[in-house]
Structure 1
Amino acid sequence: MSGEAQRLRLDTLDQLSGQGRGWIGPALDPRALRVGVVHLGIGAFHRAHQAIFTELAGAATGRDDWGITGVTQRSASVRDQLMPQDGLYSVLERGPGAAPLRVVGSVREVVSGAADPAVVVDRIADPAVRVITLTVTEKGYRRDAAGRLDRSDPQIAADLAGRPPRTVVGQLVRALQRRRAGSARPVTVLSCDNLVSNGEVLQGLVHDFLDALPSAEAGGLADWIATSVRFPTCMVDRIVPATTAEDRADALALLGLADEGVVVAEPFRQWVIEDDFAADRPAWERAGAVLTKDVAAWEAVKLRMLNATHSLLAYLGALRGHDTIAAAVSDDQLAAVAEALMVEDVTPTLRVPDGLDLDDYRRQVLKRFANPALRHRTTQVAMDGSQKLPVRLLGTVRDRLAVGVVPQYAALAVAAWMAYVAEGREARGRELPLDDPLADRLRAAATAGVGDPRRLVDSLLRVEEIFGADLPEHDGFRAALIDHVRRLAAG
């Protein structure tokens, strides 16, 4: 990227207005936007998904009170990218049907949750904020093996002890506490992460935190939350790969300005939201979202068909030396396995939502994965497997085992994860990174089973946070895993 290029900002964008350079400017004047949403976990996905829906909803209704304050949870890199750009960034779609480069202006502020935890509490407690959204990934919820708040987690323990909160659940509870003591205005907390019944999960974690506080400190907060806070469930879908230097160069060529915050996405985007809000909300349906009373069926289809197949292709593809998901799905053997997972194992477990053609959905999934313009790396999708397997694959496994069927393709996906953890290298000898919150435990478990598929399977099945107490005891599932691991090791 040229060191001489001007940076994307409000003033430099104004200079380009009307020049017809093949890009779309913000749908609303960012200068006029007032913050009504706080988003926890402002990574690339939020900027390519909810932030666009929110801006388009505001434009459709003429509302200027749905600007977004984004909160980074760990690294301050997004703050450092966007704040010198007045919150502006561009979205670069890749693939057939891609729209022109879009500059988004709905993010009006980015704060660091690690550096400024008190500011996060202040923003959520602000009475002008009516919606709090989250994309903090599965591990950001800090759950234990039973799915409850992990009170043994040192960061959770520190938040419970009263430090300025740095965990998501701690931030929410302390901010709701402040809100109740101040304006007491109702607010909606909307999880957008890939968790089954994500709203119900988050509500439960909030109450777990409250239950761990001294009763005098918690006061009547739980009762106030019950009447003034809603935790709807939602399902989100858009493939958003990591941004590369080439992407930044392409954005510069299209826009004529350097954008350090550009995000890349496929043309497709989907958002299904439970219509259960405590107060006002953006008219997201005017931007293409589906508002419904029944998210569960949509959620199961997406998690079990799209996300599970994504993980299968990531692990099998990485082991075969495929760098991207598109390369993996272009491998005829892997494409056949991916389709078989959806047809034979997943489909019998689903309750299909009204209006959804499941066969068409399956074909669309494979078509989206085959988009070579996205360059979605297999090792990126392979991250955090210990958190993803239970919500993407193991529900299907349990449902099929319950009716007496061992789901062979779901078992293959789990076995591929085991081989990925154990081998650490792909077919050409390149290292496979193990980026996982349980990495140390997984490496230790895999080491105990090196060279012996049976011992490897047994050792990894004993990681209860992933497999619970039931799956290690199922002889048919265990046998399928051992057979698949043996075949994968043999090439």
Structure 2
Amino acid sequence: MTNTTKKQTLSQTLCQGNLAKLPTSIDIPTYDRSQLKAGIVHIGVGGFHRAHQAVYINELLKTPGSEQWAICGVGLLESNRGLRDILVKQDYLYSLVVRHPNGNIDNKVIGSMIDFIFAPDSKQAVINKLAHSDTKIVSLTITEGGYNVNPTTGELDLNNASIAHDIANPDDPSTAFGYIVAALKIRKNSGMPAFTVQSCDNIQHNGAVTRKMLLSFTQQQNPADAELSQWIAQHVQFPNAMVDRITPVTTKADIDYVAQTFGLLDEWPITCESFSQWVIEDNFNDDRPQWDKVGAQFVSDVTPFEKMKIRLLNAGHSVLGLLGSIHGYATIDETVSDKDFSDYLRAFMDLEVTPLLDQLDGIDLAQYKDTLIERFSNPNIKDSLARICSESSAKLPKFLIATITENLALKRDCSLAALVIASWCLYSDKQVNQAQQALDIQDAMRDELAKYAQKTPTDKFAFLKLNSLFGDLIIKRAFNKHYDNAIDALYSPSSDIKEIMKSTLSKKHKKVSAETK
């Protein structure tokens, strides 16, 4: 191939008309996309959705009789404009690069999305699509923060500016809740059946949380219309689900790989690990996709599965993310490949999380934790610590602080988790690693976290006074003892995070050994 030919080939975009030009080794949609209907409207089309739910639907669409379960994506934020433009140009197709730990790669084109509505330009179009009779499921990946839960009270955060706007302006929605309630109001008033609202975010009891927040929002927005809240409570289902697939942020290297391998340009491909899991409560308003035919699992109660995943995988990510960032590592795989970090993570999982988990039929917890370490170690998934630590203020109350609180209630030691919280304080305060290199901190509460953390040199417990995150943790003497020691060590002029981890772990093992004698 000449340079000219190669340049011409790579200037062609991945789209329906160019699928036939792809190498036969690439898995492409074999179904007729022109015959599909969008039975699912998905709000929040990020990388995870395109590596997870959209992939399950892609596989299901290969089965005749599933044509009604394609996806219409919705972007609520101005930052989604670029994604909309790319997807439209590509006929809503995108490439998926699945990287196995052994180096093998599966290359796919996903065709399950057939439309995308950019809400800032077409608010009524979003509402109309949600209200359309074809729509059976409205699914969500809006991140933990998108549910606007006050972590201290567990109630809807009415102080959030977007929520306050939507409550006051029901005809000008900006949040997922605003759009969903507007569409459900149309359905109720038109005598149409309700759709199912399906959260696919990493929140324990994500369906129950969505239901509680949506009903609270509806009551606040429509105080004179009690019938609407009652109708939603009676007719809308919110199945809980546990979702799992590590999906790093797309990089230029991913785009270059796809261009070279596919011979077509995809401006926003997705890379992910080979592992994927989806456990769903079988609780839907109407018909639902037969996801169990393509690897998902329907259960009557997802609670023990989601607790296992959130407390081990998600919390484990945060443990590695914060400690590894302070040390100076950039990715999860290089962090967990360091024995000091993997030993600390495994001890945290074994000693502070596992005793709180329920036993699950068919799940070997020791093997599950081994698999987590293997997944984190995958050298072909360069998942950045900056991504892992992003929006920690929305994640840690659910992933880590819940475990601390439960251990304290049971009078159990939580010294390993206390060091992680103290490290979060240092991370938010100094915003540099041990080599004095700037950290890429992405958090809606970044300034507020820094404000509290920067008082630490004169008030050791200043960070814990941010009670919207920590609640009454500051008055828990058993926790404060460990937090005090961790702050002293971390803020020492000769501080070395690895030495602090080893010291903390050594004390932990001695305590456990003494208790078991």
TM class, shorter-chain normalised? Answer: over 0.9
The match for 1:303 is: 310
The match for 1:26 is: 29
The match for 1:190 is: 198
Determine helix, strand or coil for the equivalent of 1:433: coil
User: Structure 1's 436 and 342: CA in aligned 2 closer, same or farther, altered over 3 A?
Assistant: same
Stretch of structure 1 that moved more, 57-66 or 377-386: 57-66
The size of the alignment, in residue pairs, is: 482
Q: Output the CA distance in 1 between the equivalents of 2:93 and 2:128.
A: 23
Please list the CA deviations of residues 108-167 of structure 1 after superposition, one character each: whole Å capped at 9, or x if unmatched. 111123332222111111111101110000111122241222222221121112242111
Q: CA contact under 8 A between 2:31 and 2:62: conserved in structure 1?
A: yes
The match for 1:387 is: 394
The match for 1:448 is: 455
Selected match of 2:69 from 66, 73, 83: 66
Selected match of 2:334 from 316, 327, 340: 327
1:84 aligns with 2:89: yes
Q: CA contact under 8 A between 1:58 and 1:283: conserved in structure 2?
A: no
Selected match of 2:229 from 209, 222, 228: 222
Determine helix, strand or coil for the equivalent of 2:68: coil
Please list the CA deviations of residues 404-424 of structure 1 after superposition, one character each: whole Å capped at 9, or x if unmatched. 112121222222212211121
Selected match of 1:10 from 12, 16, 32: 16
1:283 aligns with 2:286: no
Q: Output the CA distance in 2 between the equivalents of 1:95 and 1:114.
A: 38
Q: CA contact under 8 A between 1:312 and 1:416: conserved in structure 2?
A: no
- TM-score of the superposition, structure 1-length normalised? 0.95
Q: CA contact under 8 A between 1:43 and 1:78: conserved in structure 2?
A: no
The match for 2:177 is: 169
Displacement over 4 Å in runs of 4+: 1-4
User: Structure 1's 324 and 405: CA in aligned 2 closer, same or farther, altered over 3 A?
Assistant: same
The match for 2:463 is: 460
| Superposed displacement of residue 196, structure 1 | 1.4
The match for 1:204 is: 212
Q: CA contact under 8 A between 2:219 and 2:229: conserved in structure 1?
A: no
| Superposed displacement of residue 61, structure 1 | 4.9
- The one-letter code matched in structure 2 to 1:172 is I
Determine helix, strand or coil for the equivalent of 1:436: coil
User: For residues 374-453 of structure 1, what are the structure 2 equivalents within 5 Å?
Assistant: 374-449=381-456, 451=457
Q: Output the CA distance in 2 between the equivalents of 1:253 and 1:89.
A: 15
The match for 1:476 is: 478
- The one-letter code matched in structure 2 to 1:333 is D
Stretch of structure 1 that moved more, 268-277 or 458-467: 458-467
| Superposed displacement of residue 328, structure 1 | 0.5
User: Structure 1's 363 and 69: CA in aligned 2 closer, same or farther, altered over 3 A?
Assistant: same
| Superposed displacement of residue 57, structure 1 | 2.0
| Superposed displacement of residue 60, structure 1 | 3.1
| Superposed displacement of residue 434, structure 1 | 2.3
* % identical equivalent positions: 34
Q: Output the CA distance in 1 between the equivalents of 2:311 and 2:30.
A: 35
The match for 1:353 is: 360
Please list the CA deviations of residues 270-294 of structure 1 after superposition, one character each: whole Å capped at 9, or x if unmatched. 0000110110111110110010011
User: Structure 1's 120 and 405: CA in aligned 2 closer, same or farther, altered over 3 A?
Assistant: same
Q: Output the CA distance in 1 between the equivalents of 2:7 and 2:41.
A: 34
Q: Output the CA distance in 1 between the equivalents of 2:189 and 2:62.
A: 34
Determine helix, strand or coil for the equivalent of 1:466: helix
Q: CA contact under 8 A between 1:55 and 1:66: conserved in structure 2?
A: no
Q: Output the CA distance in 1 between the equivalents of 2:484 and 2:319.
A: 17
Q: CA contact under 8 A between 1:58 and 1:282: conserved in structure 2?
A: no
Q: Output the CA distance in 1 between the equivalents of 2:33 and 2:359.
A: 40
Determine helix, strand or coil for the equivalent of 1:372: coil
Please list the CA deviations of residues 51-98 of structure 1 after superposition, one character each: whole Å capped at 9, or x if unmatched. 011121232353111110111132122212211100000110123364
The match for 2:112 is: 106
Q: CA contact under 8 A between 2:99 and 2:106: conserved in structure 1?
A: no
Q: Output the CA distance in 1 between the equivalents of 2:120 and 2:454.
A: 35
Determine helix, strand or coil for the equivalent of 1:65: helix
| Superposed displacement of residue 178, structure 1 | 1.5
Stretch of structure 1 that moved more, 129-138 or 147-156: 147-156
Please list the CA deviations of residues 301-339 of structure 1 after superposition, one character each: whole Å capped at 9, or x if unmatched. 000011111000001111111010001001111110000
The match for 2:279 is: 272
Stretch of structure 1 that moved more, 152-161 or 199-208: 152-161
Q: CA contact under 8 A between 2:166 and 2:221: conserved in structure 1?
A: no
Q: Output the CA distance in 1 between the equivalents of 2:264 and 2:413.
A: 55
Q: Output the CA distance in 2 between the equivalents of 1:303 and 1:61.
A: 35
Please list the CA deviations of residues 324-372 of structure 1 after superposition, one character each: whole Å capped at 9, or x if unmatched. 0001001111110000010000000000221100000000000000011
- The one-letter code matched in structure 2 to 1:33 is L
Q: Output the CA distance in 2 between the equivalents of 1:448 and 1:402.
A: 28
Determine helix, strand or coil for the equivalent of 1:258: coil
The match for 1:488 is: 490
User: For residues 226-241 of structure 1, what are the structure 2 equivalents within 5 Å?
Assistant: 226-241=233-248
The match for 2:59 is: 56
1:124 aligns with 2:130: yes
> RMSD of the alignment, in Å?
1.6
| Superposed displacement of residue 176, structure 1 | 0.9
| Superposed displacement of residue 99, structure 1 | 4.9
Task: List gaps (5 residues or longer) in structure 1.
Answer: none
Selected match of 2:100 from 95, 103, 115: 95
Q: Output the CA distance in 2 between the equivalents of 1:39 and 1:27.
A: 23
- TM-score of the superposition, structure 2-length normalised? 0.90
Q: CA contact under 8 A between 1:61 and 1:283: conserved in structure 2?
A: no
Q: Output the CA distance in 2 between the equivalents of 1:213 and 1:278.
A: 24
Stretch of structure 1 that moved more, 398-407 or 89-98: 89-98
Q: Output the CA distance in 1 between the equivalents of 2:126 and 2:487.
A: 46
Please list the CA deviations of residues 205-249 of structure 1 after superposition, one character each: whole Å capped at 9, or x if unmatched. 111112113443x35212222332100100100000011111111
The match for 1:336 is: 343
Determine helix, strand or coil for the equivalent of 1:24: coil
Q: Output the CA distance in 2 between the equivalents of 1:406 and 1:61.
A: 54
The match for 2:514 is: none
